[in-house]
Amino acid sequence: MDPALVAQFWTIGLLLVLTPGADWAYAIAAGVQTRNVAPSILGMLAGYTLVVSAVALGAGALVTRIPGALMALTVIGGAYLIWLGIRTLTSPAGPITAGDATIDGVPLKRFLRGAGVSGINPKGLLLLLALLPQFTTPHALPPTLQMFGLGAIHLINCAVVYSIVAVLAKRLLRSRPRAAFYVTKAAGVAMVGIGLALLAERVAEAVG
pLDDT in the model for residue 100: 45
Number of alpha carbons in the 13 Å side-chain half-sphere of residue 163: 10
pLDDT in the model for residue 82: 81
pLDDT in tens, the chain (208 residues): 778 888 988 988 888 888 777 788 778 777 777 778 899 899 999 999 988 888 888 765 666 567 676 677 667 767 766 876 787 678 765 555 554 455 556 888 889 888 887 876 666 666 677 777 778 887 778 888 888 999 999 999 999 999 998 888 767 655 666 666 676 677 668 768 877 877 887 777 777 6
The pTM of the full predicted model, rounded to 2 decimals, is 0.69
pLDDT in the model for residue 115: 86
pLDDT in the model for residue 18: 85
Domain count, the chain: 1
Owning domain of residue 7: 3-207
pLDDT in the model for residue 142: 83
Is residue 120 within 8 Å of 9, Cβ to Cβ? no
* Alpha carbon distance 25, 117 (integer Å): 10
pLDDT in the model for residue 162: 93
* Alpha carbon distance 181, 118 (integer Å): 23
